[in-house]
Amino acid sequence: MAVQINPSILSADFARLADEAQAVKGADWLHVDVMDNHFVPNLTLGVPIVESLRKATDIPLDCHLMIEDPDRWAPQYAEAGAGSVTFHAEAAAAPVRLAREIRHQGARASMALKPATPIEPFEDLLPELDMLLIMTVEPGFGGQAFLDIMLPKIRRTRELISRHGLQLWLQVDGGVSATTIERCAEAGADVFVAGSAVYGMEDPAAAVRGLRAQAEK
Ligand code: DX5
Ligand code: ZN
């Protein structure tokens, strides 16, 4: 299980996105948080910025859509050049059709679960996905405290993935830092999103290396 570190540009300077993408050399993916002020009480960016960002960096884009009606919008992010597109289970009307559409556009299909959403009802959908995202904070803002109570869900999800013999990646997002990443890795996560623990540091690239070392312990 290879560890992947995905810095979240939500904690970067939005006026200097191209430079901020360059500042995390060595990262596996750049995590792009799309918020619509309906699914979450915050507003960030949309398709045009994803298109521009894709041209500004070689790091593939991991788009996390915290939006209503992902059935309509998610394929457009794949078309805009995102390498991975994550929609929320709570917002998708037809998650199987949507995952297939994202894959059809050439991107990895991923589904996210808010803290209060259990994994069990989605067990049969797992083969349709390339990644599952377990939120370790309530989505909407960077810099929130990691929810330890999510560790059992990470563990149960890892067990389900193994039991079905699937290859899908297990991502955690929210409050991931040098002090919490080991617990997530131990519970079975292999893709780690970190906003403030990367961009809040003086040397973001060094922060990425530090997080990787902690997760690989
Ligand atoms: C929160 C976003 C996260 C956020 C994480 O809703 O999905 O990706 O950027 O920020 P930190 O790592 O600071 O909790
Ligand atoms: Zn995110």
**Residue 173 is among the residues annotated as catalytic for this protein:** yes
Segment 48-74 shows an average pLDDT of 98
Smallest CA separation from ligand 1 atom 4, residue = 142
Is-contact 158 119, C-beta < 8 A?
A: no
pLDDT digits (tens, 9 = 90+) for 150-164: 999 999 999 999 999
What pLDDT, on a 0 to 100 scale, did the predictor assign at position 120? 97
What are the DSSP calls for 55-106, one per residue? HH-SSPEEEEEE-S-HHHHHHHHHHTT-SEEEEETTT-SSHHHHHHHHHHTT
190 is in an annotated binding site: no
Segment 7-30 shows an average pLDDT of 97
What pLDDT, on a 0 to 100 scale, did the predictor assign at position 83? 98
pTM, whole model, 2 decimals? Answer: 0.98
Whether 141 has a pLDDT exceeding 80, the answer reads: yes
Q: What is the DSSP letter of 213?
A: H
Domains in the chain, CATH or no CATH each: 4-216 (3.20.20.70)
Segment 63-79 shows an average pLDDT of 98
Residues with CB under 6 A from ligand 1: 8, 10-11, 31, 33, 64, 137, 139-144, 173-176, 193-197
**Residue 58 is among the residues annotated as catalytic for this protein:** no
Q: Which of 11, 34, 135, 179 to mutate to test the pocket of ligand 1 (most atoms within 8 A of CB)?
A: 11
Which ligand has the nearest atom to the CA of 40? 1
141 is in an annotated binding site: yes
